[in-house]
Amino acid sequence: MQMGFDAASMNDITREAGVSKGTIYVYFANKEELFEALCDEYRAELFDELLDDTERGLSGRDALVRFGVKLGKLITSEPLIQAQRIVIGVVERMPEVGARFYDQGPKRGKTLLKKFLDMQVAGGHLDIPDTELATHQLSDMFLAGIYRQRLFGVMPEEPSEEQIRTAVVSAVELFFAGYAPKSR
């Protein structure tokens, strides 16, 4: 990850990992498969944690803040920022890598969030006519002013949890103000 996808050869990878090329090729046909496997492993570990929180039945604002902070820390973490930059760099040559990264990462997170919003609507806590659209709105608001700066190197260090929490709390308050149930 440190050298970038295009710059790293299989020799570089095996040297860094301390294994032989023969060992690597037993498991992966090429560095594309290895890269995808590394991304899959990292995402699985972090999304399992997010899934645990949403399935524990946390409700309302607190659950969304907790989810948003964890998601924000994940998305702006150095390993994931590096992975996103690599994917963006190779997507024109290998669109399937970009599609897989999206399906296993952002799409998966949005599916969890939509499920939670659907439960909030069913419980009468929110009035959202289109939870698919609302999911995209909220996930983008979680890191307003942070994510793009981080991705493009304007913010070279990971944001603090307090910076993320401030953005997430503001997003959740705005979201609830916009989608609060209407008085009858």
Alpha-carbon gap, residue 184 to 182, rounded angstroms: 6
Q: Tokens in use for 81?
A: 């920022």
56-60, 89-93, 177-181 — which one is most confidently predicted on average?
Answer: 177-181
The model's pTM is 0.74
Say if residues 97 and 86 touch (Cβ distance below 8 Å): no
Where does 30-179 sit in CATH, by number? 1.10.357.10
pLDDT in tens, 139-168: 999 999 999 999 999 999 999 999 999 999
In the chain, where the domains are located: 30-179
pLDDT in tens, 20-68: 656 666 666 666 676 666 666 655 655 566 556 556 665 678 888 988 9
Q: Tokens in use for 123?
A: 């419980």
